[in-house]
Structure 1
Amino acid sequence: MAAKSFDVIVIGSGPGGYVGAIRAAQLGLKVAIVERENLGGICLNWGCIPTKAMLRSAEVYHLMHRAGEFGLKAGDIGFDLDAVVKRSRKVAGQLNSGVGHLLKKHKVSVFMGEATIPAKGRVAVKTDKGREELQAPSIIVATGARARDLPGLEADGDRVWSYRHALQASRMPKKLLVIGSGAIGIEFASFFNTLGAETTVVEVMDSILPVEDAEIADFARKQFKKQGMTIMEKSTVKQLDRTKTKVTAHIESGGKVGKQEFDTVISAVGIVGNTEGLGLEELGVKVDRSHVVTDKHCRTGVEGIYAIGDIAGAPWLAHKASHEGVMVAELIAGGDPHPVDPDSIAGCTYCQPQIASVGQTEAQAKEAGRKIRVGRFPFIGNGKAIALGEAEGLVKTVFDADTGELIGAHMVGAEVTELIQGYVVGRTLETTEAELMNSVFPHPTLSEMMHESVLDAYDRAIHY
């Protein structure tokens, strides 16, 4: 059987793969994409999008309970978990079909099946109908990652859930244990806690949200505790004893192991790259702790093979994968694109309150030996935040004291996941404090706090 020829073959149709495929097609290349499960990958079908749909339901539910604060009346407030899940699946389904439409529009050939790379320039696809042989001088591996299972803490879909089980929750947890306080863990903890679950979060590191600025993480911790969550830091779940009705967790904290009973556990202890079964290492591609080693342009070291997105390492974010997909497509087409700068990739966590950040934390900047200036502005000093009834929050900016470079920005509070992009654009434009100070921010908006935080770094804040 003759192999079908393409210029580029993309393995995986998540936010890295499908975006890279479309960009390559726009540049005049003949493109194939291989997907073993759902177009749009984990993010669209089982991650970013459906979780945000569910968190929106929790946010509205929370606001309904606060109706009296706004001079409104709402009675008989409740929720239907099945309907919440159904809505999130519908949102994911709508976007899944949209990806299929976009690929078709750009004349990208789609092959549904399991891919292997038997040799450089060749991809074999095991489909429902048999085997397809494809060939191309350039192959982009965008196979993503999956939830990490720790021995003894494995998800079973019954009492112990992965993110995927939580997205299809068949029952409402009464007493919930969340293992891990990264974005996935905290988002599910926030969702179920808002709906009334008695929620405990266990984090092995010194602080929850370990990648965030310490001051922001501390602010968030206080808010979570105010909402009724139990937060256990520097703690480890050593063992889970399961029965049909409960899980007994052995939790080590402060050198002592205690037992606590829960009806549901969500394991969110990190991810593992999907490198198995592709034949990468046999081809000479270096894999380190389940992630493909690449250079700054996502080249693997084996000619014609690139790796993008979660499989290529941190930060494990959909928008980073998409940008890498575009960069690699332009590189293959003969361009000279800028490499993706991890320090200019914003991270967003959609818990309540929201958290968003870009660049270095205050601690990282100090560890790098930089002389810095730090500005802060609280939501309580902002008219729009008070009008919204969202006066709990903080905007923090970190500048190089010598050059005025914006090193990092860190936020916690309402809608900060939408606000952070202002600082992202600023970093891309290599802004200094002078440009940010001279920018006129509209009033009344939450964005004014971004301006005030910059002013505060230089002892010029007006409203605080």
Structure 2
Amino acid sequence: MHFDLIVIGSGPGGYVAAIRAAQLGLKTAIVEKHELGGVCLNWGCIPTKSLLTSAYLFQLLQKSNKFGINVQKVELKLEKILDRSRQIVEELQKGVECLIKKNEIKLIYGTAKICKENTITVNNKYQDQDQYQYQFSNLIIATGAKPKQLDFPKIPNLVNYKGAMSIREIPKNILIIGSGAIGLELAYFYNVIGSNVIIVEKHSHLLPNADKEISLEISKTFKKKGIKLLTNSRIKEMKYLKSKQTKIEIEDLQTKSTIKIKVDYLISAIGVTPYTKNLGLENVGIKLTPNGHIKVNEYYETNIKNYYAIGDVIPGFSLAHVASQEAKLCVEKMMGLNPNKLNYNNIPMCIYTNPEIAFVGYSEKEALEKGFEIKVGKFPFSALGKAKINGETEGFIKVIFDKKYGEWLGCHMIGKGVTELITEVIIARNLETTPTDILQSTHPHPSINESIVEAIEKAYGKSIHI
């Protein structure tokens, strides 16, 4: 059977690419070896945010007296929290399946491998002995990534993000290795539901890729919540005990001193590695980077004509919203529509802890290293009326502008609701909006959005409320 386009992988890159291709008239197929929707829908973006929403609501109910509401008893049921997250996943999975049917895309379950030019084989997901061949004019590889493995023998209570969302009892003690988005979100969740949480991070501060002030603020907040932070540290040794706990030796990378602790679970959140093995890339000569990602040009074509790759399998951001954008641009370029290239300096990073974190563009350090003379403005939520109304005054907005031309170089936020607020910044930067444009745009009062105006006023010496 021949297709104009075959997409390997049905995550937020794969299924979006397939739908866009079908909209443009291509006979399209998707090959998926696991679950429709990929890691994002099944074990990443969607179910984690469901857990975090439950955790936040639990926190909010615990302080309901401050809002004049007396709740007699607030009881957390972990089983129901987990079941709700799986129900949401199932509903969205069905939604993706409907979109695929609506756009007349053939969905093939199985493991795909490039066997020769313009041909893949697929081992049937349900009958491994059956193998089918499909021909294509174009191929998009959207196989995503898998969790990186620690350099330790397997231990029953050492889990990755998938395992972390399947623990059906509240652990007394839990250790999280890594303090990126996944590590911080899981630390927040388990802390709220009652676990003693320890984070081990090899860098000097949490969230190493964020602006330093954001890192310091979330560290302060987490410490206040009782989360123990071991930065500049590494796991030196671990041993599984008969008690079903794991004994861990942690080394301080500066002093070389060590501590020993026992935990019920360890969560590895040290990043992901691309799914490129056993795809048959070598059968057509597709090149990889030293880290195992597929090499592509600015429109996602590999070194072999009509072979493309998008999402976590290529170098860059491992983010669902990036994969979806890459998918649309890849297909549109394939069809000769000449879309604009994706601006990777305008990609938002969002972390859904409480307080939430969102940032885009250059950090203050990066802007200075790039040679910009900068103007920086910072406005705390403690001075914002709507934040006080919401009872969420932690955090701040920080804006960075080029002093000479007024280019909006970066924006860094920490506080309740900032993962929604960041969109205003992304659009403004995409439109090359000036500080004057923002200041002349009347923002509603009271609102969280006002904080952006306040931060810009601070940067330009026009502060009213601070």
* Structure-2-length-normalised TM-score: 0.97
Residue 351 of structure 1 is matched in structure 2 by 353
Which of 312, 315, 318 is the equivalent residue of 1:316?
Answer: 318
Q: Which amino acid aligns with 1:373?
A: K
Residue 71 of structure 1 is matched in structure 2 by 68
Residue 19 of structure 1 is matched in structure 2 by 16
After superposition, the C-alpha distances for 1:183-242 in whole angstroms (9 at most, x for unaligned) are: 001100000001111111011112111111110111111011111111111111122111
Residue 131 of structure 2 is matched in structure 1 by 131
**Equivalence map 1:78-89=2 (5 Å):** 78-89=75-86
Q: Which amino acid aligns with 1:195?
A: I
8 Å contact from structure 1 (residues 153, 239) kept in 2: no
CA distance in 2: counterparts of 1:281 and 1:256, whole angstroms: 46
Residue 217 of structure 1 is matched in structure 2 by 215
Which of 446, 452, 459 is the equivalent residue of 1:457?
Answer: 459
> Which SS does the other structure have where 1:90 is aligned?
helix
Q: Which amino acid aligns with 1:335?
A: L
Residue 421 of structure 2 is matched in structure 1 by 419
Residue 153 of structure 1: how far off its partner (Å): 6.4
8 Å contact from structure 1 (residues 179, 203) kept in 2: yes
Moved more, 87-96 or 257-266: 257-266
> Which SS does the other structure have where 1:210 is aligned?
coil
CA distance in 2: counterparts of 1:271 and 1:207, whole angstroms: 20
Over 3 Å counting, the alpha-carbon distance change for 1:375 and 1:120 in structure 2 is: farther
8 Å contact from structure 1 (residues 160, 267) kept in 2: yes
Q: Which amino acid aligns with 2:264?
A: D
Moved more, 375-384 or 166-175: 166-175
Residue 275 of structure 2 is matched in structure 1 by 274
After superposition, the C-alpha distances for 1:11-41 in whole angstroms (9 at most, x for unaligned) are: 0000000011101111111111110011110
Residue 170 of structure 1: how far off its partner (Å): 2.0
After superposition, the C-alpha distances for 1:111-170 in whole angstroms (9 at most, x for unaligned) are: 00000011232121111342221111210000000111111165x5x4211110111112
Moved more, 432-441 or 37-46: 432-441
Q: Which amino acid aligns with 2:145?
A: A
Residue 438 of structure 1: how far off its partner (Å): 1.3
CA distance in 2: counterparts of 1:224 and 1:246, whole angstroms: 24
Residue 274 of structure 1: how far off its partner (Å): 0.4
CA distance in 2: counterparts of 1:33 and 1:432, whole angstroms: 43
Across the aligned residues of Structure 1 and Structure 2, the Cα RMSD in angstroms comes to 1.1
8 Å contact from structure 2 (residues 4, 27) kept in 1: yes
CA distance in 2: counterparts of 1:223 and 1:283, whole angstroms: 51
* Structure-1-length-normalised TM-score: 0.97
Q: Which amino acid aligns with 1:80?
A: K
8 Å contact from structure 2 (residues 114, 283) kept in 1: no
8 Å contact from structure 1 (residues 32, 108) kept in 2: yes
> Which SS does the other structure have where 1:34 is aligned?
strand
Which of 209, 220, 237 is the equivalent residue of 1:239?
Answer: 237
Moved more, 169-178 or 380-389: 169-178
Residue 96 of structure 2 is matched in structure 1 by 99
Moved more, 69-78 or 4-13: 69-78
User: 1:56 and 2:53 equivalent?
Assistant: yes
Residue 261 of structure 1: how far off its partner (Å): 1.2
CA distance in 1: counterparts of 2:168 and 2:97, whole angstroms: 29
8 Å contact from structure 1 (residues 281, 287) kept in 2: no
> Which SS does the other structure have where 1:420 is aligned?
helix
Residue 151 of structure 1 is matched in structure 2 by 151
CA distance in 2: counterparts of 1:239 and 1:11, whole angstroms: 39
Which of 160, 168, 171 is the equivalent residue of 2:169?
Answer: 171
Moved more, 333-342 or 403-412: 333-342
CA distance in 1: counterparts of 2:207 and 2:395, whole angstroms: 16
8 Å contact from structure 2 (residues 158, 265) kept in 1: yes
Residue 264 of structure 1 is matched in structure 2 by 265
Q: Which amino acid aligns with 1:116?
A: K
Q: Which amino acid aligns with 1:143?
A: T
8 Å contact from structure 1 (residues 153, 267) kept in 2: no
Q: Which amino acid aligns with 2:446?
A: P
Residue 171 of structure 1: how far off its partner (Å): 1.6
Q: Which amino acid aligns with 1:11?
A: I
8 Å contact from structure 1 (residues 12, 41) kept in 2: yes
CA distance in 2: counterparts of 1:455 and 1:122, whole angstroms: 59
5+ long unaligned stretches in structure 1 = none
User: 1:30 and 2:36 equivalent?
Assistant: no
CA distance in 2: counterparts of 1:457 and 1:26, whole angstroms: 45
After superposition, the C-alpha distances for 1:91-117 in whole angstroms (9 at most, x for unaligned) are: 011101110000110111110000001
Runs of 4+ in structure 1 over 3 Å off: none
CA distance in 2: counterparts of 1:61 and 1:195, whole angstroms: 8
User: 1:255 and 2:241 equivalent?
Assistant: no
Residue 257 of structure 1: how far off its partner (Å): 2.0
CA distance in 2: counterparts of 1:177 and 1:291, whole angstroms: 30
CA distance in 2: counterparts of 1:428 and 1:270, whole angstroms: 29
Residue 140 of structure 1 is matched in structure 2 by 140
Residue 401 of structure 1: how far off its partner (Å): 0.8
5+ long unaligned stretches in structure 2 = none
8 Å contact from structure 1 (residues 143, 275) kept in 2: yes
Q: Which amino acid aligns with 1:259?
A: K
Moved more, 293-302 or 390-399: 293-302
After superposition, the C-alpha distances for 1:289-311 in whole angstroms (9 at most, x for unaligned) are: 12112121111111111110011
Over 3 Å counting, the alpha-carbon distance change for 1:200 and 1:59 in structure 2 is: same
> Which SS does the other structure have where 2:42 is aligned?
helix
CA distance in 2: counterparts of 1:300 and 1:238, whole angstroms: 40
Q: Which amino acid aligns with 1:170?
A: R
8 Å contact from structure 1 (residues 159, 263) kept in 2: yes
CA distance in 1: counterparts of 2:53 and 2:283, whole angstroms: 45
Residue 327 of structure 1 is matched in structure 2 by 329
User: 1:336 and 2:338 equivalent?
Assistant: yes
Residue 314 of structure 1: how far off its partner (Å): 2.1
User: 1:374 and 2:376 equivalent?
Assistant: yes
> Which SS does the other structure have where 1:291 is aligned?
coil
Residue 282 of structure 1: how far off its partner (Å): 3.5
Q: Which amino acid aligns with 1:63?
A: L
